[in-house]
Amino acid sequence: MKPKRKPKRAVKRPRYSKNQAQAAVVLGISVRHLRNVLKLPGAPRADAAGRLDNAELLAFWREVQAEAGRAVDLDAGADVDEDMRTLRARKLLADIRDREMITAVRAGKYLLAAEVRAVQIGRASKLAALLRSALENEMPPLLAGKPAIEIRAALSGVVDRIIGGMAE
């Protein structure tokens, strides 16, 4: 029997952040971005002791997010518009396709064009050698003294036999 888990308690946040690093953790952003956020008009200011009120900071942060109406690029301090998101998604998709293609080539699922060309050239040269052998060496003695129609039929049969053998 599994031991029962204790119910999770809500994380208790302190009322004040002693420094910008603690305030950044409260908002879930980097210190660099927090500095940019604190430069915005209406941002909460530190008190005389240098502390930031977390409740004010969270309220301001939610207000900034609501006004933006979209995701904020925290490191650059600028809004990321829909075009940039689309471009990033397309780039990610292209990278994924490239990786899949490389993996497929390594697995042997695709052939390189050079390999295909080499096979085609090999088969074409074999076909040419067979045709040359049959037409130049075998057929002349068999066709001597026959009429043109019979010669044509015999040559056609030889070519058909050779090409049929290459298709296999």
List, for residues 34-84, the tens digit of each pLDDT value.
Answer: 999 899 998 999 888 889 998 898 889 888 888 877 454 444 444 456 677
Angle at 85 between CA 30 and CA 104, to 5 degrees: 105
Once rounded to an integer, what is the mean pLDDT over residues 81-110? 86
Q: Whose structure tokens read 């690093």?
A: 21
Helix axes 20-27, 54-68, angle to 10 degrees: 50
Q: Write out pLDDT tens, residues 134-164.
A: 888 878 887 888 888 888 888 888 888 888 8
Q: Which two tokens stand for residue 79?
A: 């809004």
- State the pLDDT at residue 75: 41
Rg (CA), the chain: 39
Domain map (residue ranges) of the chain? 16-76, 80-110, 113-167
The C-alpha atoms of residue 120 and residue 166 are separated, in whole angstroms, by 12
> What pLDDT, on a 0 to 100 scale, did the predictor assign at position 32?
93
Query: Are 12 and 50 a contacting pair, CB within 8 Å?
Result: no
Q: What CATH number belongs to 16-76? A: 1.10.10
52 touches 44 (CB < 8 A): yes
Contact 163, 156 (CB under 8 A): no
Percent of the chain's residues with pLDDT above 90: 12
The answer to whether the predicted template modeling score (pTM) of the entire model surpasses 0.75 is: no
Report whether 80 contacts 72 (CB < 8 A): yes
Through-space distance between the first and last CA atoms of the chain, rounded to whole angstroms: 66
pLDDT for res 92: 92
